[in-house]
Structure 1
Amino acid sequence: MSLPQHSDATLRYQQQVENSRNYVLPFIAQEFPEMKGLRVMEIGCGEGGVLTPFLEQGAQCTGVDLFPERIELAKGFLGNYVASGQLQLIAKNIYDVDFFGEFQHAFDLIILKDAIEHIPDQDKLIEYLKQLLNPRGQVYFGFPPWYMPHGGHQQICHSKVLSFLPYIHLLPRPLYRGLLKAFGEHENTIKELMELVDTGISIERFEKIAKASGFAITRRKYYLINPIYKYKFNLKPREQFGWMKGIPFVRNFFTTCMYYLIKPKSN
Structure 2
Amino acid sequence: MQKRHIDRLQYFRELAQTSERYFMPYIKDFLDMAGPISILEVGCGDGGNLLHFAKRGYEVVGVDISANRINDAKSFFEQENANAKFICSDILKLNGYKSYFDLVICHDVIEHIGNKQEMLSRIECFLKPKGLLFIGFPAWQMPFGGHQQICHSKLLSITPFFHMLPQCLYKYILSLGGENVECINELLSIKSTKITIELFEKIVAQTSFDIVDRRLYFVNPHYEVKFGLKPRRLLKPLSEMPYIRNFFSTSCFYILKKSSAMDSASSHTGRSVQ
Q: What aligned pairs does 1:1-267 form with structure 2 within 5 A after superposition?
A: 2-79=1-78, 80-82=81-83, 87-96=84-93, 99-100=94-95, 102-267=96-261
Structure 2: any 5+ residue segments left out of the alignment?
A: 262-274
Q: What is the deviation of 1:232?
A: 4.0
Q: What is the deviation of 1:233?
A: 4.0
Q: What is the deviation of 1:235?
A: 2.8
Provide the secondary structure at the position in 2 that maps to 1:61.
strand
Provide the secondary structure at the position in 1 that maps to 2:49.
coil
Distance 1:20 1:179 in 2: 34
Q: What is the deviation of 1:35?
A: 4.8
The CA deviation string for residues 13-57 of structure 1, in whole angstroms up to 9 with x for no partner, is 110110000111111111113254111000111111101111122
TM-score, normalization: structure 2? 0.91
Query: Do the aligned residues in 1 keep the contact of 2:38 with 2:58 (CA within 8 Å)?
Result: yes
One-letter code aligned to 2:163: H
* Partner in structure 1 of residue 268 of structure 2: none
- Give the 3 Å change call, closer, same or farther, for CA 14–39 of structure 1 in structure 2: same
Distance 2:65 2:124 in 1: 20
Provide the secondary structure at the position in 2 that maps to 1:266.
helix
The CA deviation string for residues 46-101 of structure 1, in whole angstroms up to 9 with x for no partner, is 1111011111222111111111221111111213333xxxx2111112222xx33x
Structure 1: any 5+ residue segments left out of the alignment?
A: none
Q: What is the deviation of 1:116?
A: 0.9
Tell me which moved more, 6-15 or 126-135. Answer: 126-135
One-letter code aligned to 1:54: F
* Partner in structure 1 of residue 267 of structure 2: none
One-letter code aligned to 1:67: S
Query: Do the aligned residues in 1 keep the contact of 2:208 with 2:258 (CA within 8 Å)?
Result: yes
Distance 2:226 2:189 in 1: 22
Query: Do the aligned residues in 2 keep the contact of 1:3 with 1:232 (CA within 8 Å)?
Result: no
Distance 2:244 2:112 in 1: 22
One-letter code aligned to 1:93: D
Q: What is the deviation of 1:231?
A: 4.1
One-letter code aligned to 2:172: G
Percent of residue pairs bearing the same amino acid type: 38
Aligned residues: 259
Query: Do the aligned residues in 1 keep the contact of 2:18 with 2:225 (CA within 8 Å)?
Result: no
